[in-house]
Structure 1
Amino acid sequence: MALEKRLIVLENLTNLDLLPPTGALLIIGLLRLEGSSGGPASVTALVP
Structure 2
Amino acid sequence: MNIKGHGPMINSTITHSPSPDFSADLRMQRRARALLSSHKRRLTG
Judging by fraction of residues, say which structure has more strand.
Answer: 1
TM-score (norm 1): 0.30
Give the greater-gyration-radius structure (CA).
Answer: 2
Higher relative contact order (CA 8 A, sep 6+): 1
